[in-house]
Chains A and B, each alone.
Chain A
Amino acid sequence: MTQTGDVSHVLRAPLARAAGWTAAFYLMVLPLMGPRRGLWVALAVLVVQALALAADRVSPASRERLAAALRGSGRFSAWMELRPAWVRTVAPPALLLALAAAGLGMSPYTLDVATNAGIYVLLALGLNIVVGMAGLLVLGYIAFSAVGAYTYAILNTQFHLSFWLALPLGGALAACFGLLLGLPTLRLRGDYLAIVTLGFGEITRITLNNWNSLTNGPNGILGIQPPSLFGFTFSQPKHYFYLLLAMVALAAFFSRRLERSRLGRAWVAMREDETAAESMGVPTLRLKLLAFTLAAFWGGVAGVLFASKQLFVSPESFNFLESVMVLCMVVLGGMGSVPGVILGAVLLAFLPEVLRGVAEYRLIVFGAAMVLLMQYRPQGIWPSSRRYEEFRQEA
């Protein structure tokens, strides 16, 4: 080795590596992005490498410290769990009242966006039961919502079925689908289950697209009646806003009670260690089925609400990306944490409105965020304290 000075000797290998990765990335993106735009990618790679290198030079532990800071100390969620009982009883109704009051002052457009966010919150809370509480990855979740939406659409346009009857019926039918799918597949290992549910989602969408006599194929079903109650018809964004607010409150209350019930605790035991849970007498298969069916039920309910708000359904609304979107909400908010999941759903539902100018970059940011989130904050933004501990031990 030549004695050209300490610094260059130590730096040479990392510099060469940084240059190598930069060049490689430039080559990789060159055919797809062209020589000019590819340079921006190369520049970004170079900057990231340089920052990492600089951080290592300044303080070797800085990267770990940053990662630890991002992962969080869990103090906030611990405080939230241990907060005084009166905060716990007062905060949710207070928030609900505040939202109801805010609804009076919102523009019809904002109300509409908020209503859509409400539907997503319902979906996310439903998916949270199976992914967050029971720890089963379900990827085709939106299919259950499609079942609910089409139940209402078909029965309402053909037989003028009332919305209030369709709401439980759509949920129940979706739950039946969940049960039918769950019975044979829940014995499978986790990642197989993910793929099977993904396949189920696709089958549902393709069937809706092609069963013309029942679903009117890709054209969808028009002319669904809005819900009405004692002669009062839901016609304005305001009406739907309060309907959804009530449903979300109901679903959140249900989820919260479920989480602390005997059932919820059994799910956690199963999620943490299936073998141990089973050997302690937890009937895992039945519990999985129950989680699956309950999640499907809420998916169906959300679907009925969706159809009653849009007054139109088509298979397009139930594609794979919607399933991914709902999963993102659960993961971002914090799997298994009811307030986290609600927050995640609201954030992601409002995000497109905020990012209107750069809408085409929305999904690519989503994808990158999912990858980074799993590395730096797998427990989500508002984790349940129990989940936080679990991820800390795994890491």
Chain B
Amino acid sequence: MIPGGEFFQQIVNGLTVGAVYALIALGYTMVYGIIELINFAHGEIYMIGAYIGTIAAALLLGAGVPAAAAIPLAIVAAAALTGFYGLSAERIAYRPLRKAGRLAPLISALGLSIFLQQYVLLAQGARDKVFPEEITSAGFTLGPVRVAFVQVLILGVAALLMVALQGFVRRTRMGRAMRCAAQDPVMASLVGVPVDRVIALTFIIGSALAAVAGVLVVMYYGKVNYLAGYTAGLKAFTAAVLGGIGNIPGAMVGGLFLGVVESLAAGYIGGEYKDVVAFVMLVVVLIVRPQGLLGVRVPDKI
């Protein structure tokens, strides 16, 4: 047994990682909700966001901008540009295949994921990209638990974005169009919902959220490399399935849950098996409760 303080420490660390999974999972879940496609390239989009944020932060800090302004600016820049990556991905790899059955878009997504990964490898090299500012160490202690400021930042930003997204989907006209398209794309287009534009917007929002998650992770771990998207994407997908795919609050819950379980597993079983725990959980959830923690069982359409 590890002592109680260690337990709470793992919970805090798990929530931090979980918030990041949740942000990435939102992109999977929103896209799946509308076009029923597992966007394999989403992990790569997250990785690209992390790179862009790191490079932007380095440029801004190099130009003498104070960190308090440079980091938010870098996050915004990463979100904006990565949103465009998502938009382009949809236009180039997915939209032409919208009516092409199930297998073709999946393979296209897989191809796009390899393409983006290799693109970053060729453009930036195989070495780790290091975040310019050393901010991982600063923090405070809360009883036996050490909390880094970055962790507070991650949890805060993630919470803010999730509330904002929920507000957007629930309260705005475009959000209503989104829910409408998720329910029935054909019917939605018949009543005048611009489904193509809704799907494009979904990709932009999902990618921007993933980019923010990416920048936050680089600040937390201090570095990123071109392979980072693969595992993170798988984990986030697990989180989305865990919460019930297509379900936005589900993705948040699933992300936090996965983060905590994984962190505890790393503490109790050993760090090398924490990925195994995540995948085993995915398999078990799919078998026992395929609709996820918050999902509703939907009969297969005939």
| A contacts, CB < 8 Å to B | 24-25, 27-29, 31-33, 37, 135, 137, 139, 184-185, 187-192, 194-196, 198-200, 202-203, 206-207, 209-210, 275, 320, 324, 327, 331, 335, 360-361, 363-364, 366-371, 373-375, 378, 391, 394-395
Report the separation of the CA atoms of residues A375 and B106 in the bound assembly, to the nearest whole angstrom.
Answer: 12
Task: Give the complex CA separation of A198 and B278 in angstroms.
Answer: 13
Known: A28-B88, A31-B52. A137 touches B81 (CB 8 A): no
Partner of A31, one of B51, B113, B241, B300: B51
Contact A194 B38, beta carbon cutoff 8 Å: yes
Q: Which chain A residues border B56 with CB–CB below 8 Å?
A: 31
Identify whether the interface residues of B are mostly helix, strand, loop, or mixed.
helix
Given contacts A202-B275, A374-B108, contact A360 B101 (CB under 8 A): no
In the assembled complex, how far is the CB of residue A298 from the closest CB belonging to chain B, in whole angstroms? 21
Are B122 and A371 in contact, CB atoms less than 8 angstroms apart? no
Query: Are B114 and A363 neighbours in the complex by a CB distance under 8 Å?
Result: yes
Closest to B91 in A: A21
| 8 A Cβ contacts from B90-104 to A | 92-93, 96-97, 99-104
How far is it, in angstroms, between the C-alpha of A209 and the C-alpha of B112 when the chains are bound?
28
Alpha-carbon gap, A371 to B124, bound state (A): 23
Listed by A's residue number, 12 A-B pairs whose Cβ atoms lie within 8 Å are A27-B84, A31-B56, A32-B48, A32-B55, A188-B286, A189-B300, A191-B102, A206-B276, A364-B115, A367-B114, A374-B108, A394-B101
The answer to whether B115 and A199 have CB atoms under 8 Å apart is no
| Chain B residues whose CB sits within 8 angstroms of the CB of A200 once the complex forms | 279, 283
Check B103 against A32 for contact (C-beta < 8 Å): no
The residues in B between 170 and 208 inclusive whose CB is less than 8 angstroms from any CB of A are: none
- A31 CA to B88 CA in the complex, in Å? 17
**CB–CB A203/B279 < 8 A:** yes
State whether A368 touches B115 (Cβ < 8 A). Answer: yes
> Which of these, B55, B104, B111, B117, contacts A378 with CB under 8 Å?
B104
Interface residue B273 (Cβ < 8 Å from any Cβ of A): yes
Evaluate contact between A199 and B52: CB separation under 8 angstroms.
no
Given contacts A367-B116, A374-B97, A394-B101, 12 further A-B contacts (CB under 8 A): A27-B84, A32-B48, A32-B124, A188-B290, A195-B237, A196-B282, A199-B282, A324-B114, A360-B121, A378-B104, A394-B100, A394-B104
> Does B268 belong to the interface (CB within 8 Å)?
no
- Residues of B near A185 (CB, < 8 A) are 283, 286-287
Contacting pair A371 B286 (CB below 8 A): no
- The binding surface of chain A is classed by DSSP as helix
Q: Nearest chain B CB to A364's CB is how many angstroms away?
A: 4
A363 to B37, CA, bound (A): 23
On whether the beta carbons of B234 and A137 are closer than 8 Å, the reply is: no
Taking a contact as CB atoms under 8 Å apart, the answer to whether B234 and A199 are in contact is: yes
Give the complex CA separation of A275 and B302 in angstroms: 7
Q: Which A-chain residue is minimally distant from B37 (CB atoms)? A: A191
Question: CB of B163 within 8 A of chain A?
Answer: no
Distance from B163 Cβ to chain A, minimum over Cβ atoms (Å): 29
Instruction: Flag if B273 contacts A371 (CB, 8 Å).
Output: no
If A191-B38, A206-B275, A210-B272 touch, whether A331 touches B282 (CB-CB below 8 Å) is: no
Report the Cα distance A117→B302, complex, angstroms. 42
Give Cα distance in the complex from A47 to B81, angstroms: 22
Once A185-B287, A190-B103 are accepted as A-B contacts, the answer to whether A371 and B115 lie under 8 Å apart by CB is yes
Given A31-B81, A371-B115, A195-B108 contact (CB < 8 Å):
no
**Residue on B nearest A139 in the bound complex, by CB:** B110
What residues of chain A lie closer than 8 Å to B275, measured between beta carbons?
202-203, 206
User: Closest CB of chain A to B171's CB: distance in Å?
Assistant: 29
Which 5 pairs of residues, A with B, have the shortest CB-CB distance? Answer: A370-B111, A367-B115, A367-B114, A199-B279, A364-B118
Q: Are B100 and A395 in contact (CB under 8 A)?
A: yes
**Interface pair A209/B272, CB less than 8 Å apart:** yes
Name the CB-closest residue of A to B108: A374
Interface centre among B48, B85, B93, B290 (most CB of A within 10 A): B93
Q: Which of A25, A33, A206, A374 contacts B104, CB < 8 Å? A: A374
The CA of A191 and the CA of B38, in the complex, are separated in Å by 7
The reply to whether A27 and B81 form a contact with Cβ atoms under 8 Å apart is yes
Q: Which residue of A lies closest to B56 (CB)?
A: A31
> In the complex where A209-B272, A367-B114 touch, is A28 in contact with B84 (Cβ < 8 A)?
yes
- The 8 A CB mask of B157-175 against A (1 = contact, 0 = none) is 0000000000000000000
CB–CB B100/A374 < 8 A: yes
Beta-carbon contact of B51 and A32 below 8 Å: yes
C-alpha spacing A196/B276, complex, angstroms: 12
- B7 on the A face (CB < 8 A): no
CA distance A137 to B287 in the complex (A): 18
Bound form: Cα–Cα A272–B55 in Å: 48
B286 partner residues in chain A, CB cutoff 8 A: 185, 188, 192, 196
Contact of B283 among A199, A210, A366, A369 (CB under 8 A): A199
Distance in angstroms between the alpha carbons of A375 and B116 in the assembled complex:
18
Cα distance A32–B56 in the bound complex, in angstroms? 10
Q: Which of B92, B106, B287 contacts A194 (CB 8 A)?
A: B106
* Minimal beta-carbon separation of B121 from chain A (angstroms): 8
Q: Does B221 contact A (CB under 8 A)?
A: no
Which residue of B has the minimal Cβ distance to A271? B103
CB distance from B119 to the nearest CB of A (A): 6
- The reply to whether A195 and B122 form a contact with Cβ atoms under 8 Å apart is no
Contacts of B55 in A (CB 8 A): 31-32
Q: Which residues of chain B are within 8 angstroms of A366 by Cβ–Cβ distance?
A: 111, 114
A29 near B123 with CB under 8 A, answer: yes
Given A185-B286, A192-B286, A371-B111, residue A32 in contact with residue B123 (CB < 8 A): yes
Say yes or no for B105: interface residue by CB 8 A criterion. yes
Q: Give bound CA distance, A222 to B235, whole Å.
A: 33
The closest CB in chain A to the CB of B112 belongs to A371
Contacts of A198 in B (CB 8 A): 234
| A28, B111: Cβ atoms closer than 8 Å | no
Q: Which of B115-148 contact A (CB under 8 A)?
A: 115-124
Asked if residues A37 and B96 are in contact (CB atoms below 8 Å), the reply is: no
- Contact between A371 and B118, CB atoms less than 8 A apart: no
CA–CA, A37 to B125, complex, Å? 14
